[in-house]
Structure formats: C-alpha cells, structure tokens
Amino acid sequence: MLVLGIESSCDETAAALLEDGHRLLSNIVASQIATHRGYGGVVPELASREHLRNICPVVRRAIEVAGRREEEIDGIAVTQGPGLIGSLLVGLSFAKAMAFALQKPLVPVNHIEGHIYSALIENPDISYPLLAAVVSGGHTSLIFSPEPGQYRLVGRTRDDAAGEALDKLAKFLGLGYPGGPVIDRLAQRGDPHKFVFSIPKISDGSLDFSFSGFKTAALRHIERAGIRPRQPGGRVGRQIVDLVASYQQAIVDTLLVQTRRAANQLRPASILLVGGVACNSLLRRTFKDAFEGSAASGLDSKAWGREARRTPVYFPTPSLTTDNAAMIAAAGTPKLASGSPLQLDLNAYADFRLC
C-alpha cells in the first residue's frame, strides 16, 4: 500500500511516500526555521503563509523523489491536529483537494499518534504493550498503548513542554532558535552539576511533568551569578555552557524519573522515545542506559524502585524524530488498510486529543 503523508501542524511543511508502513520512498521537509528565527519562536500567521507557499512544491517533490506517479498512490494521510489552526488548515485543505482529484481515500491522523508511529517505521516488530514518551516543543506526555491504535494518557506536562523549556532558556540567553539542538551541542562541554536544579515532586503521585520551575530557577542562577546573555555573534562563556548543561540534565532526569515510574507500574514490552526532543543525545543515552543497561544511569538507583528491569528503548533517526510526514503516512497506513472512505468533510482541530 502506497501512502502519501502530509504534515503542516507547526513550522514544517512536509510530505512523504511510504510503502507498506515501513519502506520510506521519500521524506521531504521544508523547514521555516529561517523565517521564525528572528522572532525567537514560531509566528503563526507567517507559518500559515509559508505553508501555502511550500505545500505544492513539497508534495510534488515527494512524489518525484519516490519515483512514482500520483495515480499510484493508494491513499492520503494528513495531520488533523493538534497544532496551529492556520497551519493545519493548509495541509488539510490541500490533502482534501488532492484526494478528491485523484478519487483516493483520505484519513486524518493525530500528530501525536504520528510521533508514536515514527519509531515503528524502522522497527516494525516493536512489541506491545508499549509506553511512549512523546517529548517535543509542543507536547510532553506519557502514552500507554496496549495494542496498535489504542492509547491511554498516563502523564502529561502541567505547564511547559520540555522542548519549550529548552527553547525559552536558549532565547533568553541569546543562543538562537530552536534552542534544543544548540543546548544539546553546548552541554557536551559543560558541567551538568555546576548549577543546582531540584526535580519537582508532583505531590499527588501522578505521572505528570512540570518544567516551568526550572525556568524560574535558571533566572535565579543567572541573576546570582551575574550571567549576561550572549551578544549577537559573540562567544558563549563558560558559565552559560555550565548553566545549559545543568538545565538540560534536570530536564532529562525529570523525564527519566517519571518514565521509570510509569514503566514500573505498567510493565510495557517496549519504551518509545519520540518527538523533536528525542533527538537529544543525553536523553537518548540516558534512556538506553537506564532501561536497557544493568544500572540506573548515574542517578541514585533508589529513585527508580527495586523492580527495575530491562526494557528495549526505541527512538527514530533524527530526520524522523522532528516533525515529518513519513510518521503521518505510517500512522495513516493501518487506517487506510481497514478500508477508510474518502472523507471530504474533515476539519482541523488545534487542540485535537489522542486520548
């Protein structure tokens, strides 16, 4: 089954052709980073206009690179939400028009389900039940999936998403946008124990996250240590490098503590680490060591509970980790395979929930 995926929920216009759920024939992403960089974040109206400009060439290119003709496509999968409503509408309207013109079925995909499927493209044999840590600029949740297509939200952020926390500190320190990859790189030469960030305890014992306290703590460190934001084009000083390394460590530790607690309770057969922040090298290493290794990755092993056991961790290659349309095609494939009709009355939803 040959599926065209279309994704436009935030600041990436993307199209991909995927065969049988795991043979990736093309994966085209037009990034808008250059457009939004000057503002330190995504400007929704500019994003919609960029999507409009990019959607036709991106889809055309995806078909060309795959070496296929549009008539060969068996169905179209498109992101329905969550995301920026103007951005979503561009992809969705395009997908409807194309499905109508080709008279092919069209299925809507939840962006978060897309991220979960991003790990299944390269690893189609991942065992269920699975626990997915979805960690991106817009979302940070723990989702338990007992079987394909069934989801239970077991934890979510109560304030900022992890990527948002990284992006905000980077913006404040003049490190550029998006902040996650910059902090990942800088932190490799920083001391992660130089500045103290205490991991918040969610008092009701839930599996939720909270990251906004780290931002407040970072501002306090900046004030106390007299750290000045980097000037445009200037060098990044030692204190900034140590601060971002400590901040990143605290975010990674928080993600690990809650994922470990969820894994101990739910006993999944696999753990998925997906969403843009799953590109982070420390996060990947920490999850691998903690869940697949014998010990609990340098942190106090008591924090994980005694029942720690080995569970395989999967994360996609970086090009499938940040927003892309291959993951939308992958999540759409089983829906199309179950005989979905051409749905022309679809709408987009900014706060569309998966579960």
CB of 276 to ligand KG4, least distance (A): 2
Q: Which stretch binds Zn ion (CB under 5 A): 165-173, 210-218, 303-311, 323-331?
A: 323-331
Among 13, 110, 118, 136, interactor with ligand KG4 by CB under 6 A:
136
- Sign of the alpha-carbon dihedral angle for 290, 179, 144, 112: negative
Count of residues engaged in binding Zn ion, rule: CB under 5 A? 2
> Are the C-beta atoms of residues 116 and 46 closer than 8 Å to each other?
no
> Are the C-beta atoms of residues 143 and 112 closer than 8 Å to each other?
yes
Q: What is the largest CA-CA distance in the chain?
A: 63
32 contacts Zn ion (rule: CB under 5 A): no
277 contacts ligand KG4 (rule: CB under 6 A): yes
Q: Which of ligand KG4, Zn ion, none lies near 179, with the C-beta cut-off 5 to 8 A by kind?
A: ligand KG4
Q: Which of ligand KG4, Zn ion, none lies near 160, with the C-beta cut-off 5 to 8 A by kind?
A: none
Among 91, 137, 190, 316, interactor with ligand KG4 by CB under 6 A:
137
322 contacts ligand KG4 (rule: CB under 6 A): yes
> Distance (Å, rounded) from C-alpha 188 to C-alpha 205?
33
Is residue 88 exposed (0-12), middle (13-18) or buried (19+ Cβ within 10 Å)? buried
Among 163, 190, 200, 316, interactor with ligand KG4 by CB under 6 A:
163
Q: What angle do CA 148, 151, 155 make, to 5 degrees?
A: 140
Nearer to Zn ion, 173 or 278 (CB): 278
Nearer to Zn ion, 8 or 136 (CB): 136
> Distance (Å, rounded) from C-alpha 155 to C-alpha 258?
8
Among 136, 141, 145, 254, interactor with Zn ion by CB under 5 A:
136
Tell me the DSSP string of 120-150.
HHH-TTPPSSEEEEEESSS-EEEEEESSTT-
CB of 111 to Zn ion, least distance (A): 6
SS3 176: coil
CB of 102 to Zn ion, least distance (A): 27
SS3 314: strand
Q: Which residues bind ligand KG4 (CB under 6 A)?
A: 10, 136-138, 163, 166-167, 178-181, 184, 275-277, 279-280, 322-323
